[in-house]
Amino acid sequence: MRGSVPGEFIEEVLSRTDIVALIGEYVRLVKKGQRYVGLCPFHQERTPSFTVSPDKQFFYCFGCGTGGDALKFLILRENLSFPEALRRLADRAGLKLPVTALDPEAERRRREQETVWEINRLVAGYYARQLQDKSGAPARQYLEKRGVPLTVASKFELGFAPASGDALLDFLRRQGVSGEEAVRCGVAIRKETGAVVDRFRGRLIFPIHDARGRVAGFGGRALDDATEPKYLNSPQTPFFNKRELLYALYQARDTIREKGFAVIVEGYLDAITAHQFGFTNVVASLGTSLTREQARLLLRYTATALIAYDSDTAGTAATLRGLDLLQEAGFEVKVVRVPQGKDPDEFIRQAGKSAWEKLVTQALPLLEYKGIHLAREKGIETAAAKMAVLRELLPNLAWLKTAPEIEEGVRAVAQLTGLSWETVRGELDRFLEKGQKDWLNPRKSVKNKHKIEYTADARKRAEASLLRLLLEKPSFAQQVEAAGGREIFADERYRRIYLTIAREVAPSGELPTPLLFSRLAEDDKATVAALLAAELPEASEALVEDLIGILREKKQREKRQELLLSLQMAEKAGDEGRVQELLRQLAELLRNRKEGCGNGR
């Protein structure tokens, strides 16, 4: 929808929104100088690192790197889509969405989605009533056998699907819902004969909610182990994709934020039992291996995740896959070791609450768990075997964020493998020098991913400093444009942000922050917030010129290295024509560099 909303309208909404008042409804803010500070609502912390600027109308957390404008805050805090957040702020500001914003196709999709949610709400209510009805006795007996009281079943809106093939359809027709709509929602199927029948029959029903509590789909469990499949889920549709959902997240999200970590289990009953015993920061990955979409969803609530999958072979394999996926996404990851032959549901019920608490407290860090597994699998009796284990762990070491974490990780791996600290550190350094860290797409972490101090690379620091000056004094864009404009920036994010500034700055040199944020891509807002939150060097044309000079110099050096490498390859290949062309380009590069120095650059 964003593309169909005039930028001017977004700017007006942002200009009329008091970001301090908005965020103050979620966070206790204290005035400190020209800004307000408070505890970050997006990660657990004891010392306030969350800042809100009333004059620039942005927020930023120095702890986790989350930042942006009022729209971004609502999107993240309330798990809203961009259209939903814009509507919320527009209503708050007393503004009505312009007709041009109501893109027909987007509106059609929105209405379809809302229809599906409404039908799913009706279906969930119907199944819940059937569980309490006489026909639901088999499902109630199953829950009783599994130790789940009806009060807990009610919390998760569990239900029962009657065994007949048309009970739900009959109910929906009385509510004005057609068989075709039921098929589109995934609660009915069309047989080869053309007849439409209920999808779920004679099963215990688990409604699957999104993070806002809306029923996105359903899972159905057979009441006996002879029925196949044991579990039946709603089909994937444009409105339901279980890869993007976590079971019980709606019930767990507040506790996850409060405790600062989440525990991920496999199945519905694992999560339900954990909640029943008071462990309400537990979510389930819907019986499948964790997905990147699920990791990104969970990252909105915490950056620490504990995996507590079953201890069988399949569960161990899923744990190992999940470890790498979560670490790559930016989590601190640990593993809860459920005793062999048990799943969390069985263990909690048999061993009790304190035993589970102990398991969680003793969860193993990623490197230790993975190292122990690899040592058992490969053995570490020989030097070659030890090095094989180390090579498997190098990517995980490379993903660590800070020097102390890397130091601790190197020591842990050295202890696990029996290799010396120097050997492990040396192999890690070689691994990084070979460019493997780039291949690993370094740090998609929530921690400081947008901070301009993130890299020690002088080019990026210079680019960030130049952008910071432009944000404070957009009129400098003319100076940058005259020196090469977007080509000065190697970082693609910075290049996009510069182009937005250069395009939107007024002839007077003014660029209100709400206007800038209204034109930025969502992914770039946190970067701009980080830049705005950084300390500002004293702005001057001379400093801008110096930074441009640094960036030009570095670009010329990189170009020279590239040309020299190409020249070496051309000489080896005996391509005389190519050699002469590259020599000409090198001479021109040297001449341009001298001219730049002669101009004081």
CB atoms within 10 A of CB 182: 23
Would you state the structure tokens that stand for residue 215, as one six-digit string?
Answer: 């029923």
CB 199 within 8 A of CB 180: no
Fold category of 244-361 in CATH: Dna Topoisomerase Vi A Subunit; Chain: A, domain 2 (3.40.1360)
Domain 110-237, CATH among 3.90.980.10, 3.40.30.10, 3.30.1780.10, 3.90.78.10: 3.90.980.10
Nearest to 299 by CA among 79, 455, 50: 79
448-471 pLDDT, tens digit each: 433 333 333 566 777 888 888 888
The rounded mean pLDDT for the chain is 85
Show the tokens assigned to 223: 């009441």
For the chain, give the longest Cα–Cα distance: 92
Helix ranges restricted to H, 289-382? 292-298, 313-329, 344-351, 353-361, 366-378
Q: Which residues pair with 240 in a beta bridge?
A: 237
- CA distance between the termini of the chain: 45
Give pLDDT tens digits for 153-165: 999 999 999 999 8
In three-state secondary structure terms, 233 is: strand
Q: Is the pLDDT at 554 greater than 80, yes or no? A: no
* C-alpha distances in Å from residue 81, one per residue of 110, 300, 474: 11, 14, 30
In angstroms, the CA 338 to CA 6 distance is: 54
User: pLDDT exceeding 70 applies to what percent of the chain?
Assistant: 88
Asked whether the CA dihedral 535, 541, 544, 549 is positive or negative, the reply is negative
pLDDT at residue 434 above 80?
Answer: no
Higher model confidence: residue 305 or residue 461? 305
% of the chain surpassing 90 pLDDT: 46
Topology (CATH) of 2-101: DNA Primase; Chain A (3.90.580)
Q: Which of the four pLDDT bands, split at 50, 70 and 90, describes residue 189? A: very high
Mean pLDDT throughout 90-114?
Answer: 76
- How is the chain split into domains, by residue range? 2-101, 110-237, 244-361, 370-439, 549-598
Average pLDDT over residues 131-139: 96
